[in-house]
C-alpha cells in the first residue's frame, strides 16, 4: 500500500521567517509607494522608479535609484539574492 504524504500548511509566521538575515530580493517600486515602506522618508518627486532591497519576509532594507546598487548592497551584507515573481 503506498504511503501518501499530505503536506501540512506552513504557518504564516514560519513562512515569513524563512531565510531571515540570509535571503533578500530586489523589486522595482514607484516613488509614490516609498512612504509605505519607509514612513520617515522625506517627500520624493512622484513618478520616479526606485528599487527596494527587502529581507525575505518583505521588510525593506534600502531604497535606491539603481537596481545594481541595491544588488551590490545585498552582496556587501552577504545576503543571497533570490528571484521573486
Query: Could you give all domains of the chain from N- to C-terminal order, each with its CATH number?
Result: 21-81 (3.30.730)
Q: What is the DSSP secondary structure assignment for residue 16, as one 8-state letter?
A: H
Q: What is the pLDDT of residues 28-50, one digit of tens each?
A: 999 999 988 888 888 899 999 99
How much is the pTM? 0.73
Cα dihedral: 9, 14, 17, 22 (round 10): -70
State how far the Cα of 54 lies from the Cα of 61, in Å rounded to an integer.
Answer: 5
State how far the Cα of 13 lies from the Cα of 7, in Å rounded to an integer.
Answer: 17
Q: What is the pLDDT of residues 68-77, one digit of tens each?
A: 999 999 999 8
Amino acid at each position: 500500500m503506498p504511503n501518501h504524504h499530505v503536506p501540512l500548511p506552513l504557518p504564516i509566521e514560519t513562512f515569513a521567517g524563512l531565510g531571515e538575515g540570509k535571503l533578500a530580493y530586489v523589486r522595482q517600486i514607484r516613488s509614490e509607494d516609498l512612504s509605505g515602506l519607509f514612513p520617515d522618508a522625506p517627500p520624493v518627486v512622484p513618478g520616479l522608479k526606485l528599487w527596494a532591497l527587502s529581507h525575505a519576509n518583505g521588510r525593506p532594507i534600502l531604497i535606491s535609484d539603481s537596481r545594481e546598487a541595491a544588488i551590490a548592497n545585498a552582496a556587501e551584507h552577504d545576503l543571497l539574492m533570490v528571484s521573486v515573481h
